[in-house]
Structure 1
Amino acid sequence: MTVYVYLTAILFNIYYVYISYQNGLTASFVLILLPLISFTISVYASGFKRNYIIGPYSVFLSLGIAALGLTYLEGIMSGYYWFLFGLLFSLPYVIRREVYFKRHTNTLYSIMLGLLIVTFLISPMYSEYYEDLTREQVHNRFMLNSVVNFGVMMLFSLQALKYNNSIIKKISFDKENAESEKDRRTQVLSNLGHELRTQINSINGVTQLILGDNSLETKNKRYFEILDHCNSNMLLLVNDMLDVHKMESGLFELSDSPKLLYDFLIKITVPFINKAEEKKLELQSFIDPRLKGIVVNIDEKRIAQVIYNLISNAIKFTEQGHITFSAEIIDINDQQVAIQFMVDDTGIGIAPKNLSRVFESFHQIKNEKDPVFGGTGLGLSISQSIIKAMNSEITIESVINKGTRFQFPLTLNLSTLTLDKHSKSEFITDDFKLDLNILLVEDNLVSMMYAKKLLEKHVSNIEEATNGIEAIEKVKENKAINIVLLDLEMPKMNGFKAIEYIKSIRSNISVIAFTANIPSTEFVSKLEKLGFDDVLAKPFNKETLFTVLKNQTKDVVNLN
């Protein structure tokens, strides 16, 4: 493109040299030779030497100076100043789009604008240099210069429109590719999360079975408790990674349900008591007594995740002193309650320069003595995203070597809570029986073993299948089966397809989705449309399993 511009300019320049010579305008003839020489140098530099900087500078300087000189010699009405405007329009197409494009274009724009201003300041309206130059000749020159430069400006304007159109098409194409790549990444991460949670469920199952063995030696039991703790931490890491991806993809959602807030918050600090004591720290908790009996709509898992992250960080970064967790009512009416949550510590503090980065993903707090504290750097980022989804924001105050305070207000809608007459603690004991004939459909043998071990003492009968095809045959053969625990991801036929056949055979049978996916609202809604009656997420424990099963039957028999 650049070379073609220069070649066209050379042709026009030769014509201008000719008419100046023919009219006896010697000084103008000499001035016009300057850009002709620079155009020729530019073609050589761009076309043969691949130097895209020398050409524009030599052309713009020589042609700009020539336009200034010609306007001074022949008058403003000769229209030579139009070349300065033409140069401004052509500039984006003669500077190669590279790293220094912006700097060079700004420099050349400044030079051209400067020359334009000087041209109008020093030039007469009509020539005072050529005594024989008539006004008719000046006007003819004005028309020629105007037509040439108007054509140049139109050409580059159309080129700009074409270029912008191609940019828009490219953006649209890139957007479609990005969305496709986003969908692919979402599917890959979803599959990866499913596989990781499946393996974690297997480890969890075997560990729980071993820990439930009363004959296990105390020394060995301690080892398996450590394994169980590590497995739980690994599950948290996997869930954090999936949460970050959901937040970045706009798939993150909250699920509110009625909760007795005071009782819930009282239990929040319990898991951290031993952890604080190990570091000889005092863990203090203040829950406003006015919260007693108040029921609010809240996503208890998400708010617990936030508070766990804040308290865990406080313990991690505190070597002596105390950590305080508080929840205090700041306003209450008939419909809502506003609560200020706070986690305060006497830890290492955070440098002012790092405060703005605390909530960034994968960013860890550092200090001079200990370069990095353990962790992925995701906890605070996820916590901030959760609180923002609840229409609030976590704020931070910190002083080096004095401590840090995280706090956030939440306005929660008041609700009512209907308590089940059969609470979990009333029936989930060692001696109870559910009048259920269960078909357990699972291709992972470890998960199958764990679920079967939990079920065998408390249900009437257990049938097994390892894929959807086997499950359909079992339902056909055994009319006593009244509940199907159906894994979703299996070979031959998965649970998504198998349920259609199972429900067509026996529409009244209860089918529970058995899945390692994290059940989002969209996912649960999809399962409901397919005909699933409930969802059991892996990894699970005995209490979770039988709570789901109990919802499918009214026949709970205590054996004691």
Structure 2
Amino acid sequence: MENTKILLLDDREENLISLKAILSRDDIEIYSTTSANEALRMVWENEIAVALVDVQMPGMDGFEFAETLLSNPKTKEILIVFVTAISKETTYAVRGLKTGAIDYLYKPLDPYITNAKVDSLIRLARSQKEIRDKNKLLENYATIILNSPDIIATVEPETGNIISVNPSVEKILGVSPNHLVGTTILDLLVDPLNSSLREVLVKKSYIGGETNVVEDRFFGRLRQPVWLELRIMYKNRLLFVNLHDVEKRKAHERALIDAQSQAEKARKVKEAFLANMSHEIRTPLNGIIGLGNLLSATQLDTSQRDLINMLRQSSGSLLNILNDILDISKIDEGKFSIIPTSTDLRVLGKGIIDLMRFKADEKNLKLNLITDERLPECVMVDGMRLNQILLNLLGNALKFTQSGKVDCKMELVSETQLGHKIKFSVEDTGIGMSDEHLANIFSEYGQASENISHQYGGTGLGLTISQKLVRLMGSELEVNSKANEGSQFFFTLILPDANEKSVEIKPAIAFQDLPPFTGKTVLVAEDNPINALLLKKYLKTWMLDTTMVLNGKEAVDALRERIFDLIILDTRMPEMDGFQAASFARNQLMVKTPILSLSATVLPEEVQQALESGMNDTLSKPFEPEKLHKKIAILLGQDGRD
């Protein structure tokens, strides 16, 4: 506890020494002086609780000093005791009490009486100070409550009746505080029977002493509902309720829910668009690629074979653009995974260079693969995605380079605890870019300028998808470029050693050289005439007895008549689609025949739908004949596996 401060005022120094000797102890802090003016300074600067004042002093006597203290609000609470050697007559004592003194001490001082009186005065002073502090605190609380922007109310727990409420209730709910006192707080609710506040009152969940926090709708101005957050505390058999306006927060939450709903609708629209676009483009593209395959199996002269190669190149470019669009969508939605496998970087690089060699030869450009001798034999990396990135970068470099060379480099930068730090770069001597054009080079569907787009073609998707793929691998695709001097695109990956060597990729086999399925029957439902022609040609080449129908309804009718060894269904067909046909065959006709889905979309949702409808496997268009042959072999049990 804080020490009590006592002032001793006497014009004789020996009296002060005597008083200090009598009162000296640990819980008292003594200030003493022989000057009344000095004493006034002391009481002004320090919180003096008790003053022992001599009555007879030169200049300002004790009565005048006491009157001065009493007249000042800062010092009027000081307890004054007069110390005197003069008569105890009544008139003299009355004068002292009127000037503010509460008691007298008479000289010569008795130490026991002096200490006893000072003790009682100290207790009185401390009690008065405690009362003053509490009153001040109550005044502060009252000020806070009156000026609080929240509604603050006291409520009778059993009835819910409002005992008191601050003025904020009028601003928030439009009701005068006076009109609410005595009424129940439940009457202010929009739905009192299903309210969180009513549940608290009925269950008496406030009894534990913890603050209950609930939200409820109240009638506000013009009877418009307003959301309020209630903090309910139980003390002294009363409920103290703080009601905070959360209508803006609730409105924001509703806006977020609406935005989320709109985003979900937009996502579904986007998925539907991508599915439709994929189907509408892949269906004819499958026909183009397939017809190219059929033509390549015929007798062709050199000129015709060159045309077929250009047809394949063009259809391949179109398929790459479509796949880029779908890949960007998957990455943006978090549905794209990087799957590291054992990869030989030298083999991967050689395959890329061999694939792009014809483009370089067309423009008389030197195309070089430069690999560091220190590169490890095999590393763990998603080889398919790394291949895609480097193909995009090389394709871009060849597109924008008219003379000179294009280099694809793989350099070992350093060794780390996590693996080999390897830098991949593609450098060219092409048109380059200015600083202004570099700023937008990785933006979606954008190129350096419209003139470049018109002159060189392309969608600008290659660099966008490459950057996204590199980021998924934990790095960043960077570029150095100067106009008319060339460009360098590069990124660095940390790749661990592979435990096993990479699997050698076998060259594709022409469809006419694939083994036959002699004696097997197949039902094919395909509404597109070109794709139907291709399928019929492939299947008959592989010695399959093939029945062709135009839609799912015709497929179901054919299944009623006979049993087939294999069923191939396009997913999107008129009258009855492939999903419906498969489901009907499984659930109504109890058909056990393996079913292969042919779909012109590659979205995971459609693959899942195919499997759920009863299909055994899926194949997306456009497809290579060898992949179709492998799927059929597996479904017919002729794939050579144990």
Give the TM-score of the pair, scaled to structure 1.
0.62
- Contact kept, 8 Å, 1:297 with 1:415, in 2: the verdict is no
Match of 1:196 among 269, 281, 300: 281
> What is the rounded CA distance, in whole Å, between the counterparts of 2:416 and 2:543 in structure 1?
47
Report what 1:345 is aligned to: 428
> What is the rounded CA distance, in whole Å, between the counterparts of 1:556 and 1:194 in structure 2?
29
Report what 2:38 is aligned to: none
> Is 1:449 matched up with 2:530?
no
The structural deviation recorded for 1:446 is 1.0
AA aligned to 2:264 is: E
- Contact kept, 8 Å, 1:311 with 1:343, in 2: the verdict is yes
> What is the rounded CA distance, in whole Å, between the counterparts of 2:452 and 2:331 in structure 1?
33
Please show how residues 56-71 of structure 1 align to structure 2 within 5 Å: none
Match of 1:403 among 475, 486, 505: 486
RMSD: 3.9
> What is the rounded CA distance, in whole Å, between the counterparts of 1:439 and 1:418 in structure 2?
39
Q: How big is each residue's C-alpha offset from its partner over 1:382-411, in whole Å with a ceiling of 9 and x where there is no partner?
A: 111111122222122223333221112234
Unaligned stretches of 5+ residues in structure 1: 1-142
Report what 1:321 is aligned to: 404
> What is the rounded CA distance, in whole Å, between the counterparts of 2:374 and 2:417 in structure 1?
14
Q: How big is each residue's C-alpha offset from its partner over 1:235-257, in whole Å with a ceiling of 9 and x where there is no partner?
A: 22233333333334444444555
Identity of aligned residues (%): 27
> What is the rounded CA distance, in whole Å, between the counterparts of 1:290 and 1:507 in structure 2?
59
Match of 1:175 among 255, 260, 274: 260
Unaligned stretches of 5+ residues in structure 2: 1-142, 150-165, 174-219, 221-225, 227-244
> What is the rounded CA distance, in whole Å, between the counterparts of 1:154 and 1:283 in structure 2?
81
The structural deviation recorded for 1:221 is 4.9
Report what 1:488 is aligned to: 571
> What is the rounded CA distance, in whole Å, between the counterparts of 1:437 and 1:443 in structure 2?
20
> What is the rounded CA distance, in whole Å, between the counterparts of 1:296 and 1:278 in structure 2?
35
The structural deviation recorded for 1:540 is 1.6
Report what 2:545 is aligned to: 461
> What is the rounded CA distance, in whole Å, between the counterparts of 2:559 and 2:302 in structure 1?
44
Report what 1:383 is aligned to: 466
The structural deviation recorded for 1:273 is 1.4
The structural deviation recorded for 1:475 is 3.8
> What is the rounded CA distance, in whole Å, between the counterparts of 1:503 and 1:259 in structure 2?
42
Change (3 A) 1:538 1:256: farther
Helix, strand or coil: the match of 1:410?
Answer: strand
Change (3 A) 1:397 1:496: same
> What is the rounded CA distance, in whole Å, between the counterparts of 2:340 and 2:593 in structure 1?
29
Change (3 A) 1:517 1:253: farther
The structural deviation recorded for 1:225 is 4.0
Change (3 A) 1:286 1:477: farther
- Contact kept, 8 Å, 1:337 with 1:411, in 2: the verdict is yes
Helix, strand or coil: the match of 2:447?
Answer: coil
AA aligned to 1:533 is: N
- Contact kept, 8 Å, 2:467 with 2:477, in 1: the verdict is yes
AA aligned to 1:233 is: S
Report what 2:635 is aligned to: 552
- Contact kept, 8 Å, 1:259 with 1:295, in 2: the verdict is yes
> What is the rounded CA distance, in whole Å, between the counterparts of 1:358 and 1:508 in structure 2?
54
Whichever of the two has the greater Rg, that structure is 2
> What is the rounded CA distance, in whole Å, between the counterparts of 1:464 and 1:519 in structure 2?
26
Please show how residues 38-187 of structure 1 align to structure 2 within 5 Å: 155=171, 162-163=247-248, 165-187=250-272
> What is the rounded CA distance, in whole Å, between the counterparts of 1:254 and 1:526 in structure 2?
24
Change (3 A) 1:506 1:424: farther
The structural deviation recorded for 1:259 is 4.9
The structural deviation recorded for 1:289 is 6.0
Match of 1:284 among 363, 368, 377: 368
Helix, strand or coil: the match of 1:408?
Answer: strand
> What is the rounded CA distance, in whole Å, between the counterparts of 1:148 and 1:334 in structure 2?
60
Report what 2:583 is aligned to: 500
AA aligned to 1:468 is: G
- Contact kept, 8 Å, 2:397 with 2:430, in 1: the verdict is yes
> Is 1:229 matched up with 2:313?
yes
> What is the rounded CA distance, in whole Å, between the counterparts of 1:477 and 1:332 in structure 2?
67
Change (3 A) 1:394 1:536: same
Change (3 A) 1:297 1:348: closer
Change (3 A) 1:553 1:374: same
- Contact kept, 8 Å, 2:379 with 2:495, in 1: the verdict is no
> What is the rounded CA distance, in whole Å, between the counterparts of 2:421 and 2:592 in structure 1?
45
> What is the rounded CA distance, in whole Å, between the counterparts of 1:528 and 1:336 in structure 2?
40
Helix, strand or coil: the match of 1:343?
Answer: strand
AA aligned to 2:388 is: Q
AA aligned to 1:380 is: L
The structural deviation recorded for 1:147 is 8.0
Q: How big is each residue's C-alpha offset from its partner over 1:368-394, in whole Å with a ceiling of 9 and x where there is no partner?
A: 999864211111111111111222221
> What is the rounded CA distance, in whole Å, between the counterparts of 1:369 and 1:433 in structure 2?
50
Q: How big is each residue's C-alpha offset from its partner over 1:133-173, in whole Å with a ceiling of 9 and x where there is no partner?
A: xxxxxxxxxx9xx9899979994999995455434423432
Helix, strand or coil: the match of 1:484?
Answer: strand
The structural deviation recorded for 1:268 is 0.7
Report what 1:238 is aligned to: 322
- Contact kept, 8 Å, 1:310 with 1:343, in 2: the verdict is yes
Change (3 A) 1:166 1:234: same
> What is the rounded CA distance, in whole Å, between the counterparts of 1:446 and 1:402 in structure 2?
47
Q: How big is each residue's C-alpha offset from its partner over 1:490-535, in whole Å with a ceiling of 9 and x where there is no partner?
A: 2222222322344455675332221111254x65455445443332
Change (3 A) 1:222 1:192: same
- Contact kept, 8 Å, 2:342 with 2:378, in 1: the verdict is no
> What is the rounded CA distance, in whole Å, between the counterparts of 1:169 and 1:431 in structure 2?
61
Q: How big is each residue's C-alpha offset from its partner over 1:83-121, in whole Å with a ceiling of 9 and x where there is no partner?
A: xxxxxxxxxxxxxxxxxxxxxxxxxxxxxxxxxxxxxxx
- Contact kept, 8 Å, 1:342 with 1:405, in 2: the verdict is yes
- Contact kept, 8 Å, 2:522 with 2:547, in 1: the verdict is yes
Report what 1:211 is aligned to: 296
AA aligned to 2:437 is: N
Give the TM-score of the pair, scaled to structure 2.
0.55
Change (3 A) 1:503 1:172: closer
> What is the rounded CA distance, in whole Å, between the counterparts of 1:256 and 1:543 in structure 2?
25
> What is the rounded CA distance, in whole Å, between the counterparts of 1:415 and 1:508 in structure 2?
42
Report what 2:624 is aligned to: 541
Q: How big is each residue's C-alpha offset from its partner over 1:174-213, in whole Å with a ceiling of 9 and x where there is no partner?
A: 3312321221222122212211111211222233323332
Match of 2:388 among 290, 305, 310: 305
Report what 1:274 is aligned to: 358
Report what 1:360 is aligned to: 443
| Structure with the largest fraction of strand | 2
Report what 1:264 is aligned to: 348
> What is the rounded CA distance, in whole Å, between the counterparts of 2:483 and 2:451 in structure 1?
12
> What is the rounded CA distance, in whole Å, between the counterparts of 2:332 and 2:365 in structure 1?
36
Helix, strand or coil: the match of 1:180?
Answer: helix
- Contact kept, 8 Å, 1:243 with 1:382, in 2: the verdict is yes
> Is 1:512 matched up with 2:512?
no
- Contact kept, 8 Å, 1:314 with 1:347, in 2: the verdict is yes
- Contact kept, 8 Å, 1:286 with 1:326, in 2: the verdict is yes
Helix, strand or coil: the match of 2:441?
Answer: coil
The structural deviation recorded for 1:291 is 6.1
Q: How big is each residue's C-alpha offset from its partner over 1:438-490, in whole Å with a ceiling of 9 and x where there is no partner?
A: 222212121010111122121332222222233334345433x3222221112
